[in-house]
Amino acid sequence: MSTIANNIAKVAARIREAAQAVGRDPDTIGLMAVSKTQPAAAIREAHEAGLLDFGENYLQEALEKQAELADLPLVWHFIGPIQSNKTKPIAEHFDWVHSIDRLKIAQRLSNQRPAELPPLNVCLQVNVSHEPSKSGCAPEDAAELARAIAALPRLRLRGLMAIPEPTDDPVEQHAAFARVRQLQEQIGAQLDCLSMGMSQDLEAAIAEGATWVRIGTALFGARTYPAQSDTPPANDQRNNR
Ligand SMILES: *Cc1c(COP(=O)(O)O)cnc(C)c1O
């Protein structure tokens, strides 16, 4: 087995065990491979080993890889910070956007979603640790924002996304993810997704209800920058610690 196929098997086993530990069906947890800085060949390899969902943070890099991989039936998730002048290609080239944190971006994505494509699946990113430098809306603004986003015709609001402050303390990990879940429950509506959990904290996220885990390092190994002209954005905290 290749290294990536091996890593996928290990991550799948972690997901299965974490789900079973809390009595959840492992099939309700999606594995998104975060492929930022990884070459198209690594994505192809991961697809051959069974993965379909890929998450990218940097638009230009993502578009180049999508063009190279156009022969594969992949599902693309945008998970990075969004500048308003970049919404059009995101609306055109992605199936999901997990990193919406203000209404203006959501409105632009809705207006620019091509008519021939299904509504864009979106999650509202919440700054659950109240970190001033991080992306995401304030938790107290989430309910109102969610209602406004849910009313946009070409978006389908699926749930919340969060990147809690990294910590090795499982108690703190659980507490942060539980706050996201509680917020989701308060908002109610028909939200069916919680996008939370990365390589180091997927167990805690699954215990608290994650339906998408976003995994980079545990699948592809450590990232090396710069893969291109982009430097990691401020909220790419796994590389900035
Ligand atoms: C990089 C990144 C991930 C993956 O992080 P790992 O620790 O490598 O698993 C997940 N989510 C977001 C938003 C990221 O930027």
Nearest residue CA, atom 10 of ligand 1? 214
Instruction: Identify which of 163, 77, 82 has the alpha carbon closest to the alpha carbon of residue 125.
Output: 163
- How many whole angstroms separate alpha carbon 47 and alpha carbon 49? 5
Strand partners, 33: 54, 215
57 lines ligand 1 (CB under 6 A): yes
Nearest residue CA, atom 11 of ligand 1? 214
Instruction: Identify which of 87, 93, 133 has the alpha carbon closest to the alpha carbon of residue 111.
Output: 87
User: Quick one: pLDDT at residue 61?
Assistant: 97
Q: What percent of the chain has pLDDT over 90?
A: 87
Task: Report the nearest atom of ligand 1 relative to the CA of 215.
Answer: 9
- How many whole angstroms separate alpha carbon 173 and alpha carbon 135? 18
79 lines ligand 1 (CB under 6 A): yes
Q: Looking up tokens 């908002």, which residue turns up?
A: 187
CA angle in degrees (0–180, nearest 5) for 68-71-73 = 115
Q: Provide the token pair at 120.
A: 């864009």
Q: Looking up tokens 């638009």, which residue turns up?
A: 59
Number of Cβ within 10 Å of residue 27's Cβ equals 9
User: Quick one: pLDDT at residue 86?
Assistant: 97
pLDDT tens-digit series, residues 92-106: 999 999 999 999 999
225 or 76, greater pLDDT: 76
Domains and CATH numbers, the chain: 3-223+231-238 (3.20.20.10)
pLDDT tens-digit series, residues 31-59: 999 999 999 999 999 999 999 999 999 99
- Cα 152 to the center of its chain, rounded Å: 21
CA of 200 to the centre of ligand 1 (A): 10
Residue 1 pLDDT greater than 80, yes or no: no
User: Quick one: pLDDT at residue 94?
Assistant: 98
- How many whole angstroms separate alpha carbon 16 and alpha carbon 156? 28
Element (DSSP H or E) covering residue 126: strand 120-126
Residue 9 pLDDT greater than 90, yes or no: yes
What pTM value is reported for the model?
0.93
Instruction: Identify which of 3, 102, 94 has the alpha carbon closest to the alpha carbon of residue 48.
Output: 3
Q: Is 154 helix (H, G, I), strand (E, B) or coil?
A: coil
Mean pLDDT, range 221-225, rounded to an integer = 86
CB burial readout 167-206, b (16+ within 10 A) else e: eeeeebbbbbbebbbebbeebeeebebbbbbbbebbbbbb
User: Quick one: pLDDT at residue 232?
Assistant: 52
19 lines ligand 1 (CB under 6 A): no
Residue 58 CA: distances (Å) to CA of 21, 158, 230: 35, 22, 8
96 or 226, greater pLDDT: 96
Q: What average pLDDT does the structure give for the chain?
A: 93
pLDDT tens-digit series, residues 154-208: 999 999 999 999 999 999 999 999 999 999 999 987 899 999 999 999 999 999 9
Task: Report the nearest atom of ligand 1 relative to the CA of 220.
Answer: 8
